[in-house]
Structure 1
Amino acid sequence: MLNYSKGESEARLSAVFDHAIDGIITIDESGLVESMNPAAARLFGYEPVEVLGKNIKMLMPEPDHSQHDQYLDNYHRTGHKKIIGIGREVKGLKKNGTQFPLYLSITETPFEGKMIFTGIIHDISELKLSQSKLKEYSEELETSNRELERRVIERTRDLARANEGLSYSNESLQKEIEERRQVERALRESQKLYKTIAKNFPDGILCVLDKSLKYLLIDGMENEPAMGQKEDWVGSYATSMNFIDQKDEFIKGLKQALTGLPLDMEMTVSDGAREYQVNAVPLYDDDDKIVNLLVVCKNITERKKAEKEILNALNKEKELNELKSRFVTTASHEFRTPLSTILSSASLIGRYVGETEVADKIEKHVMRIKSSVNNLTYILNDFLSLGKLEEGKTTFHPTIFDFEEFIEETISQIGPTLKKDQKIVVDRSSPVVGNVYADEQMIKNVLINLLNNASKYSDEGKSIRLSLTAKKNQLAFKVKDDGIGIPAKDQQHLFDRFFRANNAINIQGTGLGLNIVKKYIELMNGHIEFSSEENKGTEFKVSIPITQPSYD
Structure 2
Amino acid sequence: MPTNPVNIALNDVLINQAEEFIGIYDDASGRFTRVNKAGAQLLGYPSEEAFLADLDATPRLPALPPTYWEALRTEARRAGRQEVETEVSRQNGELFWGKLQLSFLEIDGRASFLVRLSEQERLHQAERDLAQSERRFEAVFSNATIGIIVCDRQGSIISANRHSQQLFGYADSELLGQKIEVLVPNAIGRQHQKLRESFNAQPSVRAMGQHSGDLQAQRKDGSVFPVEVSLSYFYEEQDLYVVSYILDITFKKNAEQALINERQRVERLNTELEQKVADRTHALLNTLEQLEQRSEELTIALAAEQELGELKSRFVSMASHEFRTPLTAVLTSATLIEKYPGGDQQDKRLKHLQRIRSSVNHLNDILEEFLSVGKIEEGKIETRPARLDMAVLLTDTVTDVQGMLKAGQSIDKQVSCQEHVWLDPSLMRKILVNLLSNAIKYSGENSVVTVRAQCSQGQLTLTVQDQGVGISDEDKEHLFERFFRARNVTNIPGTGLGLYIIAKYLELMRGTISLESKLQEGTTVTITIPYDHHSAD
TM bin (shorter chain):
0.3 to 0.5
Instruction: Give the TM-score normalised by the residue count of structure 1.
Output: 0.43
Larger C-alpha radius of gyration, 1 or 2? 2
Higher RCO structure, 1 or 2 (CA under 8 Å, sep 6+):
1
Instruction: Give the TM-score normalised by the residue count of structure 2.
Output: 0.44
